Chain A
């Protein structure tokens, strides 16, 4: 396990949104009865530890079960059920993990069924983030499947009274040495639970021998999606279910000064729930709930808060000293050896995830047991949050996550689940709460904004001799370089964020790659070198070199371009995979409008598990990156989001999409890394560099062209 993978996580750390009053009595009663509910307390400790470390999850890892049956069960009919706490949010891991198990178990894909993200059924899992499913969960399931296979072979051998080594699996059937006898998986397993532990030295099928993994099988349950049959959380309905709505203030950090709920309470079927600063309503239908919410008179008090225009000064002013800096060599020596020096500042704005399905929960109490269906990337994390909010042990709570309308890092938290559960508790009925798009913008959290200062020295032959890099607030992910710089001082500084901020696809790797790769372009310009040659001169890592050359070749780097067009390139590494992106942009001479015309991205994440879905992931990341690169930006003032609607917040659409060519490098000799995030980091710097190539304007802020380039 590579703990470095977890070092750079950036989780939302905020006090609990609500401090409910009613349950405290029960909580105290439980204590006085001698039952110490240590769950909430231990969570608080874990939370504090994480805050100290500025990260989540580390040291918070429950024991990973080592019994085959915790991961894989085979019923009487031979259906293989696989249990994983991971969540399917469009990254197609339901398919890739099914492939992994089918491969090791030597059974057809159709006999394998994945049970995902159900805290009562699946082993503990920290959450679906950090591109960890492929490098960590897939090997875990492979091992369980391989151990299941060996156990089944032993069972078949026992039935036949032969040596296990004489039993083989051919076409999903167990056969003896001369194939005169055969058994199906159901006939061998007989519905027994596989209680054996997974041997530490279990042999896995190498990628070069894969027949099911490594092939482009289609999405396993694709038909349910193209027919509209798949039930997302927001589609679920329970007997007697009511619809919830929350009364919100206009600004963050508001406190409730006054409320009058009489008019809402007078509406037929409406129940108003008031608990501290929490006010919500439930009604038999959405329309009534929305009307009831509107007729509640409230007055909130909000403090003055920093706005977008003062953001970057604010972040630097409130920066903490960096932690964990590991300088390499000496910046002073590097600067002394340089022929030229350059200092520049780069900035990135807050941006929103805009998951297609807003946060949604259906909550249902049965006595003191709570079941919630929630669209979240961290079912076990949400279970902890619920335990804390309602002062009940985690064992009383079940969180189930149906395949969800995506997240991109934006669905790590449980606010919506807590609200729905509070409403359900008060109304005594199951409650569905689906956040509106406006709520999703204002009350979720954002990709952190940041300021990055870069000071460097370079020799006229193109050797970078000193690299000093300070990131304020946006995060440490992707901050380390894969270039061969002899002298480095790279630091991340926490700061105070005016807005709620947290995880996002690729985290700060986009910001850090933007600053680094634009700066590399500026250095190339300084020493009058070709931008590709300049990068190659500073690269020793063969994998980085390979992706960069692959992208440059496929793009036709150095070829002529027509007027108003520019080419840019960028490369990088993050979460075990390598990426290089080349972009061609056009800039309209009159309007300054920027259009990305063509993108070539090469990507290498070790052995490819499913080329079809990998291509789709990489392509999707490039498209999503267009928004953050060119126009996505949260406008805010005094705790209010000023453009928190799709009519005001522009996301990439069909007409924004360039021609995209993906070049996948398959390294069967290397373990598979995740691919959900890293492909997003290369576009912004490649486009920024292409705009400079087209216009001579050096842009150092993301988004690059929220409206158009000024004349």
Chain B
């Protein structure tokens, strides 16, 4: 099978040379040194590896890289612009929406897709959209709070 030789990641065209069956996650992490997306389960059940492909939530651990060549890939590394954090990144800090932080990249990227689509999601919409992302430390309520802060719908900030 043909190798994939370039990928569009965070608005940049990057050279790679990998078998098209290689999971996107490995390419990002091992070849492009973008380690924000994490390996958590390898079967799209935890969301730690979440990236956006043409704006859609994508579990990169089960996505062959051949399927995303030519498409726009967004990772956690692409959310910060010119040293300024994305509103969701700010909100996660404000809401203390992390403990060990291993799920955080995937959470923020997944939430970004939601806010791109629905600028003021209801609580139910947030829960439904985020249900594929696992936070084993149990910061779910804070993550919901952070997304509401970023969306400007938060009634209060967790303490």
Mark A residues whose CB is within 8 Å of B: 89-92, 216, 218-219, 222-223, 225-232, 234-235, 237, 243, 285-287, 354-358, 403-406, 408, 434, 436-438, 611-613, 615-617, 619-624, 645-647, 651-655, 657, 660
Contacts and interface: CB of A to CB of B under 8 A. Distances in A.
Nearest to A216: B159
Contacts of B66: none
A652 B127 CA distance: 13
A222 B91 CA distance: 11
Residue among B79, B102, B127 with the most chain A CB within 10 A?
Answer: B102
Q: Which 7 A-B pairs have the closest CB atoms?
A: A228-B36, A623-B138, A90-B100, A405-B102, A225-B101, A90-B99, A620-B138
Interface of B: 19, 21-22, 26, 29-30, 33-43, 45-46, 48, 75-77, 79-80, 85, 89, 92-93, 96, 98-105, 108, 126-128, 130-144, 158-159
Contact of B98 (A226, A286, A357, A621): A226
A574 B107 CA distance: 33
A102 to B, nearest CB: 19
Given A225-B104, A404-B100, A437-B42, 9 more contacts: A232-B102, A234-B38, A406-B136, A615-B159, A620-B99, A620-B138, A624-B136, A645-B45, A651-B136
Contacts of B128: 655
A654 B35 contact: no
B99 A406 contact: yes
B41 A89 contact: no
B101 A286 contact: no
Interface of B is mostly: loop
A356 B140 contact: no
Contact of A235 (B19, B29, B136, B139): B29
Given A235-B35, A434-B39, A646-B41, A230 B101 contact: yes
A623 B140 contact: yes
A378 to B, nearest CB: 17
Contacts of B139: 616, 619-620, 623
27 contacts: A223-B89, A225-B98, A227-B36, A228-B75, A234-B38, A235-B35, A286-B26, A287-B21, A355-B136, A356-B48, A357-B102, A404-B100, A405-B101, A437-B40, A438-B42, A612-B159, A613-B96, A619-B139, A620-B99, A620-B137, A624-B137, A646-B46, A646-B134, A653-B131, A654-B127, A657-B140, A657-B141
Contact of B35 (A216, A231, A403, A617): A231
A376 to B, nearest CB: 14
Residue among B19, B21, B96 with the most chain A CB within 10 A?
Answer: B96
Contact of A226 (B41, B45, B104): B104
A82 to B, nearest CB: 21
A617 B96 CA distance: 11
B43 A357 contact: no
A226 B85 contact: yes
A622 B138 contact: yes
A287 B42 contact: no
A611 B159 contact: yes
A228 B104 CA distance: 8
B84 to A, nearest CB: 11
Contacts of A611: 159
Contacts of A225: 98, 101, 104
A147 B33 CA distance: 43
